[in-house]
Amino acid sequence: MNTEQHEQYEYARRRIKQKKRLYYHFVLFLIGSLFLFLIEKFFDIQPFEGWYLWAVTIWFFLFILHFIKVYITDRFMNKEWEREQIERLMAKQEQRIKQLEQKIEKETKFKNKEI
């Protein structure tokens, strides 16, 4: 297996792991919401009015953030995007190094003329 195939395999494995965790989170959310509902209705545990809805709403919001990360953010910011960003930053660094070298060369010539 060459390097590119290995990277593709690792990327696919990582994406499958992310999706698996998201599905697990969804199932846990459903079971947890049901459990919280049962606690409120049958055991009459009410620290404050509407605590069940607040808990489920916050948990749902966290699930939506997890969904966005897996299906939107990570889908577009993959290895190819990473590689492009690294190449762009390296090109900027090389350009900056050349500018500094030219500046040093000019200063050295100027100092040599003074002497």
Residue ranges in 1-115 assigned as alpha helix (H): 3-42, 51-68, 74-76, 79-114
Say if residue 11 is in the same domain as residue 67: yes
Per DSSP, the three-state class of 88 is: helix
Tens of pLDDT, residues 50-73? 788 899 999 999 999 999 998 888
Say if residue 71 is in the same domain as residue 103: no
Give long-range contacts, CB 8 A cutoff, 24+ apart: 5-14: 7/79, 11/78, 11/79
Say if residue 6 is in the same domain as residue 53: yes
Phi-psi region of 77 (alpha: psi -120 to 50; beta: other; left: phi over 0): beta
Count of structural domains within the chain: 2
Would the pTM count as exceeding 0.75? Answer: no
Q: What angle do CA 79, 85, 90 make, to 5 degrees?
A: 125
Domain containing 8 equals 1-77
Tens of pLDDT, residues 70-98? 888 877 777 777 788 888 989 899 999 99
Say if residue 73 is in the same domain as residue 86: no
